[in-house]
Amino acid sequence: MRHIISRRNLLVLGGGALLAGCASYVPDGRTTLPQLSRETIIAKINGVRADNGRKPLAYNAALERAARTHVNLMAERGELSHTVGGTLRERVNAAGYFGAVGENLAGGQRTLEGAIQGWMESAGHRSTLLSARFSEFGLAAASGGGEYGTYWAIILGGTFEAWTAGR
């Protein structure tokens, strides 16, 4: 079974326009957990963003630490949840990140491309992944128990000003 969930923990929620048309671009490949590298992750995420007219994101080690801690805990408990181990805000602050953040989770996809495809096929996840307000990200995956077996987390970050400008 494959499943995806999304949560934004921003200064101001709502008011974001949905992206028109859900193109199904997914990067080529079948990158499994043992094959994941920072370079591959950056290339795949920024490839999807470029294909959708978005600027590339920088990779952020603190956001990766928060994502890694979260996927490891989900895999250990066999639970796909935004609240395992605390709220998104608590988790990113503990990792040393204090900007605006959004998070997409996925469970059951065996490849990075499968997780990206799931996020791109869901309007809310797509909106988070392609948001022009985010400038950096971290991504992690882990194998574990429960019905999903494989757990994915991408945490995107940026300035609070990007979310409050023009309001």
- pLDDT tens digits, residue range 65-116? 999 999 999 999 999 999 998 999 999 999 999 999 999 999 999 999 999 9
With beta carbons less than 8 A apart as the criterion, state whether 121 and 104 touch.
no
Residue 22 has pLDDT above 70, yes or no: no
CA distance 97 to 125: 21
Residue with more model confidence, 46 or 25: 46
Q: Are 15 and 165 in contact (CB under 8 A)?
A: no
pTM above 0.75, yes or no: yes
Question: Between 167 and 40, where is the model more confident?
Answer: 40
Between 77 and 163, the higher pLDDT residue: 77
Within 10 Å of residue 143's Cβ, how many Cβ atoms? Answer: 14
pLDDT score of 57 more than 90: yes
Higher pLDDT, 104 or 16: 104
